[in-house]
């Protein structure tokens, strides 16, 4: 159902199957004398690919009509001589000062009308025709010069598109937004209907009257806000396509990617919609401080695997140790570097790369870890880097294998993420991704494997589908979910699901709107909770954030748990409607990973899903599958050793006892 990328993988110069290993390499930050040492140490570490030229525009084109490729020629040749492949960036991520000086109209504008000035990076409007033409000129120059270079393994379009410039409210953006709206709605009358502009006297007469949701006197129209988010994701996607199309024309044999940011609260880009645009999916992931940081890593890697259609993907960046952009930047503990990398491999990464090769001595990221830290190669970090290189070599048989689908899916939907967290709602505290992550964490704790999948994926192969806060439910999706349940599938959803259609209009007749019949419930009013307030359920768990006043509307609905305190005392909190051999369940409050445990126990029993190993939540399992064998990645989630009793297979890495935070990979012939 979802369109996936072409599946063309890196063009390895030697053609052999292996796991890629490397980093962003920024040789222009260093004197030339260091380059030979760099390449020698890369070889020692097992590095076989680097990303080059990501922020090199000012160096490659120091003036509008002046080009300097000499240094890049030299470094490309040097890397090739040493058997290191290159993922060559198009270098368009950060425009040089001359460009923004001559053309200040490329600079983005925030929603308060403030210009984002040069001095950092990514100061360009996704919709600026001036920026686009300069960027494409650079792309053409690079493609013509390096398209046949033997080191070239892939093109890397821009860098982290939308990291800093996803929302631009400039006049260029306003013009492009109108064009986008015209395509979507066809007429102003249709737009007026979709945006419900009868409210607050917003009826538009002409396209030119329509603006991005700039700073306003009160809450902006919610559909305007939602459409602006969709448009902004599309505008960057258009930029990706423009660079890609030119590269495809000039170098049709070279695969093309761009690095996504499936991580944490980075939510501006609908990657489920972008994935089909690249030849293979690449992702950047950084650990975020907090109690679920490793679960979040796993969740992101898992979702990235789904975006890649279960095929291998490229981990373009993560960190060897601390980053420099959180309030407090913790160093990784021994073992973390390998475990974090291997968790990505477990979920399909066939390349493991870092930001960056050599830690910068100056500049905004000088305190960000790298493969070669400030301390040099005589350091614990570099020794771990060398060790990981050897580990990845031992995992070569895994390269090219695919995900073995799980029996449980968690549905992830950008539209629902965007719409559920808009302003002017019952609560501003709701966090879409956190709820999904809580379910994922609870499944990990139960020792049950799950796939995190996009909402457009087919649900039919799964026994249990978890769709947390599925807020935007167009009729088509409601039908698909009903079909899944009618076919014997088990669905569970939560508070604030099924509420609106694709235009953000409430489904009338009672909540949960589009899912009311499927769930067999009717809710007349939401009961969000104040900060700190909790309610108790007769399952012995506590809820927070939200409750609903639930009326059962179908004789086949069973109450799984009820409220024992709070406004809804004595009323249902969790319900299940049995429908033939399938079921549709509803959880009306936020339970967190611990509180979800007994709920999951019930749902897993109903759907007949059992863990694939007996080690419970201590060990995370991910499975990749090849022509004649499965590869079991067993990841110790604890700080204690765990014996892998009763799990057999040929050891590729690790061993029968998992040390703290260690990973064992077993090859299990089929
Ligand atoms: C990414 C970016 C890299 C570097 C890294 C630091 O957002 O692509 O260039 O800034 O973060 O964590």
pLDDT tens digit string along 377-429?
999 999 999 999 999 999 999 999 999 999 999 999 999 999 999 999 999 99
Q: What is the CATH number of the domain that holds 644?
A: 2.60.40.1180
Atom of ligand 1 nearest to the CA of 319: 12
Residue 308: helix, strand or coil by DSSP? coil
Alpha helices in 284-323 (DSSP H): 293-307
Residue 55 CB–ligand 1 contact under 6 Å: no
With a 6 Å cutoff on the Cβ, whether 355 touches ligand 1 is yes
Ligand 1: centre distance to CA 231 (Å): 25
- Distance, CA of 190 to CA of 7 (rounded, Å): 38
Ligand 1 and 286: CB distance under 6 A:
yes
Q: Are residues 324 and 442 in the same domain?
A: no
Helix runs in 395-431, H state only: 414-420
| 374 Cα to the center of ligand 1, angstroms | 18
- Please indicate, yes or no, if residue 454 is contained in any of the structural domains: yes
Q: Are residues 658 and 570 in the same domain?
A: no
List, in sequence order, every residue forming a beta bridge with 284; answer none if it has no partner: 317
Contact 51, 25 (CB under 8 A): yes
Closest by CA to 240, choosing from 158, 128, 325, is 158
Rounded distance from Cα 373 to ligand 1 centre (Å): 16
Of 55, 321, 365, 370, the residue with max ligand 1 atoms within 8 A of its CB, to mutate for a pocket test, comes to 365
Buried b (16+ CB within 10 A) or exposed e, 521-555: bbbeebbbbeeeeebbbebebbbbbbbbbbebebe
CB 631 within 8 A of CB 349: no
461 and 508 both lie in a single domain = yes
220 and 307 share a domain? Answer: yes
What is the pLDDT at residue 4? 73
Over the Cα atoms of the chain, what is R_g?
26
Question: Which residues make beta-bridge pairs with 548?
Answer: 526
Pocket test residue of 159, 317, 329 for ligand 1, highest count of atoms within 8 A of CB: 317
Cα of 644 from ligand 1 centre, angstroms: 37
Decide which of 577, 607, 637 is a domain's last residue: 607
Q: How many CB atoms lie within 10 A of CB 261?
A: 21
Partner residues linked to 656 by β-bridges: none
Any atom of ligand 1 within 6 Å of the Cβ of 26: no
CA-to-CA distance for 604 and 611, rounded, in angstroms?
9
Residues 348 and 325 in one domain: yes
Output the residue whose Cα is nearest ligand 1's atom 3.
355
Among protein residues, the one with the nearest Cα to ligand 1's atom 12 is 323
Of residues 310, 307, 286, 308, the one with CA closest to residue 297: 286
Give yes or no: residues 375 and 478 share one domain: no
Tokens of 302: 């898992």
Query: How many helical (H) and strand (E) elements, i.e. helices and strands, does the chain have?
Result: 17, 27
Query: Has residue 177 been placed in a domain?
Result: no
- What spacing in Å lies between the alpha carbon of 227 and ligand 1's midpoint? 28
323 CB within 6 A, ligand 1: yes
Q: Are 376 and 306 found together in one domain?
A: yes
Same domain, yes or no: 85 and 39: yes
The domain that holds 245 is classified in CATH as 3.20.20.80
The number of angstroms, rounded, from the C-alpha of 668 to the middle of its chain's C-alpha atoms is 30
Q: Which residues of 142-156 are buried (b: 16+ CB within 10 A; e: fewer)?
A: bbebbbebebbbbbb
What is the Cα–Cα distance from 271 to 313, expressed in whole angstroms?
A: 14
- Ligand 1 near 160 CB (within 6 A): yes
Q: For residue 392, is it within any domain?
A: yes
C-alpha closest to that of 576 among 643, 521, 617, 534? 521
Residue with the smallest CA separation from ligand 1 atom 9 is: 355
Residue ranges with strand state E in 44-139:
49-52, 85-89
- Report CA-CA distances (Å) from 220 to 104, 173, 511: 28, 17, 24
163 lines ligand 1 (CB under 6 A): yes
280 CB less than 6 Å from ligand 1? no
The reported pLDDT for the residue numbered 1 is 56
Compute the distance from residue 317 Cα to the ligand 1 centre, in Å: 8
Domain containing 627 equals 617-669
Q: Is residue 529 part of a domain?
A: yes
- Separation of alpha carbons 303 and 309, rounded Å: 10
Angle (nearest 5°) at CA 606 between 600 and 611: 60
**Domain count along the chain:** 3
Residue 489 — φ and ψ, nearest 5°? -80, 160
Q: Is 317 in the pocket of ligand 1 (CB under 6 A)?
A: yes
- CATH code at 531? 3.40.50.880
6 CA distance to ligand 1 centroid (A)? 26
Q: Which residue among 158, 284, 354, 363 has the greatest number of ligand 1 atoms within 8 angstroms of its CB, and so is best to mutate? A: 284
DSSP one-letter code for 602:
H
Note whether 453 and 409 are within 8 A (CB). Answer: yes
Cα(568)–Cα(53) distance, integer angstroms:
59
Phi and psi for 281 in degrees, rounded to 5? Answer: -85, 140
* Residue nearest (by alpha carbon) to ligand 1 atom 10: 365
Secondary structure letter of residue 15 according to DSSP = -
Last residue of a domain, one of 348, 374, 403: 403
User: Is the distance from the beta carbon of residue 368 to the nearest atom of ligand 1 less than 6 Å?
Assistant: yes
Assigned token pair, 411: 């549905």
pTM given for the model: 0.98
Ligand 1 centroid to residue 616 C-alpha, Å: 35
Q: Based on the fold, state whether residues 636 and 501 are members of the same structural domain.
A: no
Which residue has a Cα nearest atom 8 of ligand 1? 160
- Both 54 and 161 in a single domain? yes
- What separation in Å is there between the alpha carbon of 345 and the centre of ligand 1? 20
Shared domain check, 645 and 576 = no
Q: Which residues have a catalytic role annotated?
A: 160, 317
The answer to the question of residue 367 being in a domain is yes
Ligand 1 atom with minimal separation from the 163 CA: 7
Residue 47 covered by a domain = yes
Atom in ligand 1 nearest the alpha carbon of residue 325: 12
The rounded distance, in Å, linking the Cα atoms of 543 and 495 is 12
Q: Return the pLDDT at 12.
A: 87
**Could you give the CA distance from residue 179 to residue 98 in angstroms, rounded to a whole number?**
30
Residue 188 lies in a domain: no
Q: Which of 607, 626, 647 is the last residue of a domain?
A: 607
Residues of the chain under the 50 pLDDT cut = none
Choose which residue among 160, 289, 332 to substitute to test ligand 1 binding: the one with the highest number of ligand atoms within 8 A of its C-beta.
160
The strands making up 557-562's β-sheet, listed across from edge to edge, are: 450-454, 408-412, 464-467, 490-494, 582-587, 572-579, 557-562
pLDDT given for residue 2 in this prediction: 63
Could you give phi then psi for residue 522, rounded to 5 degrees? -145, 130
Q: Is 630 found in the same domain as 538?
A: no
Tell me if 254 is assigned to some domain. Answer: yes
């Amino acid at each position: 159902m979802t369109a996936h990328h072409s599946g063309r993988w890196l063009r390895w110069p030697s053609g052999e199957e292996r796991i890629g290993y490397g980093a962003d390499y920024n040789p222009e930050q260093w004197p030339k004398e260091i380059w030979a040492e760099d390449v020698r140490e890369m070889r020692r570490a097992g590095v076989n690919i680097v990303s080059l030229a990501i922020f090199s525009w000012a160096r490659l084109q120091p003036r509008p009509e002046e080009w300097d490729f000499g240094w890049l020629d030299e470094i490309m040749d040097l890397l090739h001589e040493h058997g290191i492949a290159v993922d060559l960036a198009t270098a368009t991520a950060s425009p040089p000062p001359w460009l923004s000086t001559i053309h200040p109209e490329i600079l983005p504008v925030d929603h308060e009308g403030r210009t984002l000035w040069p001095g950092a990076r990514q100061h360009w409007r996704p919709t600026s025709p001036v920026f686009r033409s300069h960027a494409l000129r650079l792309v053409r120059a690079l493609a013509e010069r390096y398209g046949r270079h033997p080191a070239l393994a892939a093109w890397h379009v821009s860098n982290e598109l939308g990291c800093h410039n996803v929302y631009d409210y400039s006049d260029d953006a306003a013009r492009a937004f109108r064009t986008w709206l015209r395509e979507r709605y066809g007429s102003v009358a249709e737009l007026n209907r979709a945006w419900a502009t009868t409210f607050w006297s917003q009826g538009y007469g002409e396209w030119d009257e329509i603006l991005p949701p700039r700073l306003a006197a009160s809450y902006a129209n919610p559909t305007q806000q939602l459409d602006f988010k969709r448009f902004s994701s599309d505008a960057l996607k258009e930029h990706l396509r423009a660079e890609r199309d030119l590269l495809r024309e000039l170098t049709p044999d070279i695969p093309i990617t761009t690095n996504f940011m499936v991580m944490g609260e980075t939510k501006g880009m609908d990657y489920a919609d972008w994935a089909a645009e690249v030849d293979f999916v690449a992702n950047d992931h950084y650990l975020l401080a907090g109690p679920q940081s490793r679960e979040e890593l796993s969740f992101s890697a898992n979702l990235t695997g789904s975006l890649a259609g279960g095929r291998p993907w490229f981990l373009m960046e993560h960190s060897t140790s601390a980053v420099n952009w959180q309030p407090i930047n913790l160093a990784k503990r021994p073992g973390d570097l390998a475990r974090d990398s291997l968790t990505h491999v477990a979920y399909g990464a066939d390349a493991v790369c870092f930001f960056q090769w050599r830690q910068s001595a100056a500049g905004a990221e000088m305190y960000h870890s790298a493969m070669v830290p400030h301390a040099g190669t005589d350091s614990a970090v570099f020794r771990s880097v060398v060790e990981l290189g050897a580990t990845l070599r031992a995992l070569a048989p895994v390269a090219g294998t695919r995900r073995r689908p799980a029996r449980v899916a968690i549905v992830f939907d950008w539209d629902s993420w965007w719409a559920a967290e808009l302003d002017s709602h019952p609560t501003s505290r709701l966090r879409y991704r956190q709820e999904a992550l809580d379910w994922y964490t609870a499944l990990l704790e139960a020792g049950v494997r799950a796939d995190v999948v996009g909402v457009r994926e087919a649900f039919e192969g799964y026994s249990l589908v978890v769709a947390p806060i599925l807020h935007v439910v167009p009729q088509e999706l409601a039908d698909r979910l009903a079909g899944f349940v009618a076919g014997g599938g088990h669905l569970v959803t939560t508070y604030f699901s099924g509420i609106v259609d694709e235009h953000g209009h409430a489904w009338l007749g009672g909540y949960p709107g589009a899912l009311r019949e499927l769930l067999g419930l009717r809710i007349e009013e939401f009961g969000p909770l104040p900060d700190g307030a909790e309610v108790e359920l007769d399952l012995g768990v506590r809820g927070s954030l939200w409750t609903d006043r639930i009326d059962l509307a179908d004789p086949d609905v069973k109450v799984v748990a009820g409220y024992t305190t709070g406004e809804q005392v004595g009323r249902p909190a969790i319900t299940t409607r049995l429908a033939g051999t399938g079921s549709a369940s509803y959880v009306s409050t936020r339970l967190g990973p611990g509180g979800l445990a007994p709920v999951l126990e019930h749902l897993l029993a109903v759907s007949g899903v059992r863990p694939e190993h007996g080690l419970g939540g201590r060990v995370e399992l991910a499975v990749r599958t090849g022509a004649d064998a499965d590869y079991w990645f067993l990841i110790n989630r604890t700080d204690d050793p765990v014996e892998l009793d009763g799990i057999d297979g040929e050891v590729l890495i690790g061993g029968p006892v998992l040390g703290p935070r260690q990973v064992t990979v077993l090859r299990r012939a089929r």
